[in-house]
Structure 1
């Protein structure tokens, strides 16, 4: 029998997510949760909705870039400035 409410660590383990990631997203109001005794709690319905939202956010594989002359086209990079190291006394 599953608990009525999951704690943050239990929900993160069940969803296989990092606890801090889940906490930050809840703090921003991006994921469903309830606030009980100053702690995040989750129901089974919340977990199902979180899975649906994360699936919708997951980017699909992009189409590979065209290959020019057998070598992938590279975007020129800006030159880097000189290394700035701390001066020691």
Structure 2
């Protein structure tokens, strides 16, 4: 993701934290947790949203560099965020020819 898209995501998250989480994690547990936190208080929603986005981009950078992060980030329930938007891949089975 380019610098402009990252900046746009940050601006969206500043004004509407659940929308920023939705753009990174989709409509799952992280999104609904953020909606509840934003309803309870605007500041807790921001903390959670920026944490989810930080984990996403940190894992995305690690995957780009070829590093595998074995531990799950605490408080993040989306597999998409945990893997940085990349799946862990599959093992290609050798041909039995």
TM-score of the alignment, normalized to the shorter chain, above 0.5: no
Which structure: larger Rg?
1
Q: Give TM-score, length-normalised by structure 1.
A: 0.32
- Structure having the higher helix fraction is 2
- Structure having the higher strand fraction is 1
